[in-house]
Amino acid sequence: MSPELAGRILMPLAVIALLWPVPVLLSRARWTSRAPRAAAVTWVVYALVTAYVLLLTLALSADSWLIAGLLLLWMLGRLLQTVYTLRGSQRRHQDALAMVAIYDPELRVHIIDDDRALAYCLPNGSQPMVVVTRGCLELADDTELRAILAHERSHAQNRHDLLVAGFLAWQRIFPFVPSCRVAAAAVGAATEAWADDEAAAHVSHDVTLRAIMRLGSGVPGGLDGVGWEPDAATLARVRRLLSQMPESRRFALQNP
């Protein structure tokens, strides 16, 4: 078998592997929970390698780099379209905040008069905006608020919005491939875990854990589950932080 023929056979198989079993296996790998930064980088490398192999396979199969080039332009176009759409949504959000939010120079946050306990980061180029509600300020104590703000500022400083936007575009490029949704969800989880780790380093695992639970429930609660009904993503974050704590401390938190 000639090398050219082998390439024509193996390259499509590589594309199939990269579009299905590889992202599924990577999303289930346990080490990604322990090292979310490395996981995020791995997902970026995976996406770049997959795009390269796909384009190369198409070029070799069709004997035309023109077709591969057109596909590359289409992929870049979808990426730019996604970024442009998200940026437009962010600008409209910023305009709305300018009318309803009050800036607190001491906390360096924008405060919205809302009873719900919410906190988020709004990308804004080199000047991202951290937004919290009055309900969040009333519910969280000072140390928990520090953890919440550290989490949101981690998103801003590490430009997690670009990672999420890139994989949202990846999902839109291949909407018919379920594993692309898996990849987008895994990257979102990795950025949350990354921000949780930086918040825990800024305050402590205990405080970060309490902060997540307060925002997840909207009421003061404990690990006994009273008044606390988390969604799957919040529960995964709590379990992850608990797994990083000494067993004696986990026992104390779960049995107050």
Extents of the domains making up the chain: 3-254
Q: Would you state the pLDDT for residue 215? A: 87
In the predicted structure, residue 220 carries a pLDDT above the cut 80: no
Q: Which residues pair with 103 in a beta bridge?
A: 110
From 207, 224, 228, select the one nearest 216 (Cα to Cα): 228
3-state secondary structure of 126: coil
Residue appearing with tokens 């509600």: 133
pLDDT (0 to 100) of residue 39 = 98
- What integer is the mean pLDDT of 57-71? 79
pTM of the shown model:
0.90
Confidence band of 7 (pLDDT split at 50, 70, 90) = low
**Cα 183 to Cα 213: distance, rounded to the nearest angstrom:** 26
State both tokens at 172: 């839109």
Cα–Cα distance for residue pair 113/149, rounded to 1 Å: 17
Alpha helices in the chain (DSSP H): 3-19, 21-28, 31-34, 36-62, 65-100, 134-139, 142-157, 160-173, 178-202, 205-217, 232-243, 247-254
Residues 114-153 pLDDT 10s: 999 999 999 987 789 999 999 999 999 999 999 999 999 9
Average of per-residue pLDDT values in the chain: 88
Whether residue 226 is predicted with pLDDT greater than 50 in this model: the reply is no
